[in-house]
């Protein structure tokens, strides 16, 4: 049988080979008329199922915290809240009173809430999977359906599923499971996030084609976003080689001696350990908003201090770049008074909120950061998100200095940290020269920069092909930023930085630092060591002369394979 390739969204830039194991939770609901339903008995069954579900969630939270980390495990707290949400629970009770069996009432009660979240954008849409997780747990308990034990699968299993909920993914044993693939899902789903934390190859959002693959050997290529069924021997060998990059704990230089810093993007403490284990030189992007999500109130100064101190202590000889709170857009926080905006990506988010309605949170965060830097050996760097005006950067920098002076007045020794600006708006790219004279560094966030340069919502599948950093317009924005600086180091912390296939191009564009998911660090370091910077600059110059993404893609393929396209 010839091999078949299915495309989806790569969730983890790793590759593995294994045998398909389908995970299909299915519940047979009872068929009873209203006059056959004892409402009191059904209410009691529902209450018992709720209690059992809560106990399961608490146990799974503890297990996930031990295996993956406290921040990832916090999703189970949200599940408990959904389980006991009166806006969901009361309609279920009312439906039981009106003659529905508990199973049917649960199914219908969660349906409207799931539909509501599915109509939202970004991470809020991923909440629909959380609701499905709670619903399916209740249905399993009510129907007495056995649960497939995903923690006890044969070695080399590749799990296929319609979707994997957080509870499902938390069960996966990375020592046995080679990877997974799903019909639905995106890069920001909990399943994808857990996959990166567990360093499991994963491809999500493949679509209905995945259902056609049953008993088969497959390759899961989380870098290319592909699942290859019935791979031939050559494809299997290539997949095996892809995951063999050695970990280099030392910093790396190009083949001709040009030093490039390779750092890790982290959002949770557990990812810090993965970054050190995979040889990251430091942290190039600490996404602090994850400290603020999935909770009822913001973390206080002491909690943030401990989190930042842990990150700095993990890299005593490296730099830790912390992005200040970046909310709005696709990262809403329920306990904050966020505006209801028609286009939140172009609205009040990032530094705009930190200098406005969230100024108190901003001050608390800066105090925690500076306190942490005063007690550890690591080098703290602070950068501001979504800068579009020089005045925004200047105001942010002034606020850092004011708080530093306040702490120094108490007798605390606080050195001045590096202060930088993210380049993720066209305005910031055009103002790069002006920002570089005021900043210690610039860091290009290609996820948002691509979105704004191409006017293509990064969460909108209809314009997905436009959201590609290989487009010449995005590459020229990157080159303009690098060329506009004079002695100010320029890094990149978007997804583009972690694509090994683009490493040589990025070296050629003149980046001083690349920051990425920790799982990609070894491969990117290996690519840098094999790169001649002069040849890389020639490749970048050729790419910049292209006028279409297709032209750039064909050039890169030709360069990689040595085959003229």
Whether 329 and 379 share a structural domain = yes
**What is the three-class DSSP state of 182?**
strand
DSSP 253: E
The answer to whether position 545 is within a domain reads yes
Which range has the worst mean pLDDT, 135-149, 302-316, 478-492?
Answer: 135-149
Task: Please give the pLDDT value at position 563.
Answer: 59
CATH number of the domain where residue 116 is located: 1.10.274.10
Angle between helices 102-118 and 86-97 (to 10 degrees): 140
Alpha-helix runs per DSSP H in 416-548 = 426-430, 432-436, 446-454, 472-484, 503-509, 521-529, 533-544
Structure tokens at 498: 């972690």
Whether 137 and 152 share a structural domain = no
**What is the three-class DSSP state of 52?**
helix
| CB-based contacts of 465, cutoff 8 Å, min separation 6 | none
Whether 166 and 236 share a structural domain = yes
What does the radius of gyration of the chain's CA atoms come to, in whole angstroms?
25
Whether 217 and 301 share a structural domain = no
Long-range pairs for 145-148: beta carbons < 8 A, 24 or more residues apart: 145/25, 145/26, 145/27, 145/28, 147/25, 148/23, 148/25
Known active-site residue 236: no
The answer to whether position 247 is within a domain reads no
CATH number of the domain where residue 183 is located: 3.50.30.10
Name the burial class of residue 163, with classes exposed (0-12), middle (13-18) and buried (19+) by CB atoms within 10 angstroms of its CB: buried
Buried-exposed string 30-44: b where 16+ CB fall within 10 A, e elsewhere: eeeeeeebebeebbe
Among residues 92, 169, 98, 96, which one has the least CA distance to residue 135? Answer: 92
Residues 12/196, Cβ–Cβ less than 8 Å? yes
Kindly write down the DSSP assignment for every residue of 353-372, as one continuous string. Answer: HHTTTTHHHHHHHHHHHHHH
Whether 282 and 195 share a structural domain = no
Residue 4 host element (H or E): strand 4-7
Whether 476 and 378 share a structural domain = yes
Position 519 pLDDT exceeds 70: yes
Position 247 pLDDT exceeds 60: yes
Q: Which of 215, 242, 269 is the last residue of a domain?
A: 242
Domain span at 368: 254-561
The answer to whether position 470 is within a domain reads yes
More confident residue, 137 or 462: 137
Task: Please give the pLDDT value at position 133.
Answer: 83
The answer to whether position 405 is within a domain reads yes
What confidence category does residue 244 fall into, taking pLDDT thresholds of 50, 70 and 90?
low
What whole-number distance in Å separates Cα of residue 44 and Cα of residue 317? Answer: 59
The answer to whether position 270 is within a domain reads yes
What whole-number distance in Å separates Cα of residue 44 and Cα of residue 118? Answer: 31
Alpha-helix runs per DSSP H in 166-227 = 166-171, 190-198
**What is the three-class DSSP state of 476?**
helix
Whether 194 and 92 share a structural domain = no
Whether 451 and 413 share a structural domain = yes
The pTM of this model reads 0.70
CATH number of the domain where residue 435 is located: 3.20.20.60
Whether 167 and 270 share a structural domain = no
Whether 497 and 383 share a structural domain = yes
Among residues 525, 533, 423, which one has the least CA distance to residue 481? Answer: 423
Among residues 223, 302, 306, 295, which one has the least CA distance to residue 272? Answer: 306
Which one is catalytic: 79, 467, 471, 493? 493
Which one is catalytic: 190, 467, 471, 559? 190
Task: Please give the pLDDT value at position 379.
Answer: 94
Position 243 pLDDT exceeds 60: no
- Residue 502 has phi, psi (to 5 degrees) of -110, 0
What whole-number distance in Å separates Cα of residue 86 and Cα of residue 496? Answer: 43
Known active-site residue 493: yes
DSSP bridge partners of 150: none
DSSP 26: -
What confidence category does residue 461 fall into, taking pLDDT thresholds of 50, 70 and 90?
low
pLDDT tens per residue, range 96-129: 988 888 888 998 888 877 887 766 555 555 677 7
Q: What percent of the chain has pLDDT over 70?
A: 91
What whole-number distance in Å separates Cα of residue 221 and Cα of residue 18? Answer: 11
Task: Please give the pLDDT value at position 15.
Answer: 87
Q: Which of 242, 276, 297 is the last residue of a domain?
A: 242
More confident residue, 30 or 415: 415
The answer to whether position 248 is within a domain reads no
pLDDT tens per residue, range 403-453: 999 999 999 999 999 999 999 999 999 999 999 999 999 999 998 999 999
Whether 426 and 300 share a structural domain = yes
Q: How many CB atoms lie within 10 A of CB 338?
A: 19
The answer to whether position 523 is within a domain reads yes
- Which residue bears the tokens 């890299």? 315
pLDDT tens per residue, range 40-73: 899 999 999 999 999 988 887 777 776 666 656 7
Whether 135 and 153 share a structural domain = no
The answer to whether position 249 is within a domain reads no
Total domains in the fold of the chain: 3
Task: Please give the pLDDT value at position 239.
Answer: 72
pLDDT tens per residue, range 463-476: 777 888 999 999 99
Which range has the worst mean pLDDT, 14-23, 90-99, 108-117, 204-213?
Answer: 108-117
């Amino acid at each position: 049988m010839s091999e078949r390739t299915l495309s989806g969204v790569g969730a983890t830039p790793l590759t593995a080979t294994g045998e398909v194991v389908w995970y299909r939770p299915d519940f047979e609901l009872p068929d009873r008329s209203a006059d056959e339903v004892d409402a009191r008995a059904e209410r009691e069954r529902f209450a018992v199922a709720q209690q059992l579900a809560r106990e399961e969630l608490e146990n799974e939270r503890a297990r996930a915290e031990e295996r993956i980390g406290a921040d990832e495990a916090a999703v189970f707290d949200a599940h408990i809240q959904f389980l006991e949400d009166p806006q969901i629970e009361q309609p279920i009770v009312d439906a039981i009173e009106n003659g529905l069996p508990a199973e049917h009432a649960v199914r219908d009660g969660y349906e409207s809430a799931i539909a509501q979240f599915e109509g939202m954008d970004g991470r809020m849409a991923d909440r629909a999977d959380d609701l499905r997780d709670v619903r399916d747990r209740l249905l399993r308990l009510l129907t007495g359906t056995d649960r497939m034990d995903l923690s006890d699968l044969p070695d080399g299993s590749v799990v296929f599923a319609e979707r994997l909920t957080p509870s499902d993914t938390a069960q996966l044993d990375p020592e046995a499971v080679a990877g997974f693939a799903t019909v639905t899902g995106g890069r920001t789903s909990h399943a994808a996030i857990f996959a990166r934390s567990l360093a499991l190859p994963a491809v999500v959002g493949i679509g209905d084609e995945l259902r056609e693959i049953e008993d088969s050997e497959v390759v899961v290529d989380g870098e290319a976003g592909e699942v290859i069924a019935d791979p031939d021997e050559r494809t299997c060998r290539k997949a095996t080689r892809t995951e063999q990059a050695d970990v280099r704990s030392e910093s790396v230089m190009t083949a001709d001696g040009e030093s490039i810093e390779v750092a890790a993007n982290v959002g949770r403490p557990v990812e810090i350990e993965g970054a050190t284990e995979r040889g990251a030189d430091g942290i190039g992007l600490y996404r602090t908003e994850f400290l603020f999500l999935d909770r009822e109130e913001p973390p206080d100064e002491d909690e943030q201090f401990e989190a930042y101190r842990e990150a700095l202590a993990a890299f005593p000889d490296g730099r830790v770049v912390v992005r200040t709170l970046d909310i709005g857009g696709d990262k809403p926080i329920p306990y904050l008074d966020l505006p209801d905006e028609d286009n939140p990506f172009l609205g009040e988010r990032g530094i705009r909120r930190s200098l406005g309605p969230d100024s108190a949170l901003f001050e608390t965060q800066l105090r925690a950061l500076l306190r942490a830097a005063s007690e550890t050996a690591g080098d703290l760097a602070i950068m501001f998100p979504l800068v579009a005006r020089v005045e925004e950067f200047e105001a942010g920098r002034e606020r850092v200095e004011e708080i530093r002076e306040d702490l120094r007045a108490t007798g605390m020794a606080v050195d001045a940290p590096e202060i930088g600006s993210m380049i993720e708006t066209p305005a910031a790219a055009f103002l790069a020269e002006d920002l570089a004279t005021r900043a210690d560094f610039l860091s290009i966030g290609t996820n948002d920069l691509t979105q704004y340069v191409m006017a293509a919502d990064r969460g909108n599948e209809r314009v997905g092909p436009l959201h590609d950093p290989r487009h010449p317009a995005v590459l020229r924005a990157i080159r303009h930023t690098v060329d506009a600086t004079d002695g100010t180091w320029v890094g990149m912390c978007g997804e583009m930085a972690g694509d090994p296939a683009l490493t040589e191009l990025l070296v050629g564009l003149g980046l001083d630092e690349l920051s990425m998911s920790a799982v990609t660090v070894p491969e990117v370091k290996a690519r840098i060591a094999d790169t001649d910077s002069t040849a890389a600059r020639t490749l970048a110059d050729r790419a910049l002369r292209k006028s279409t993404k297709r032209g750039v893609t064909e050039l890169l393929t030709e360069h990689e394979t040595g085959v003229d396209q």
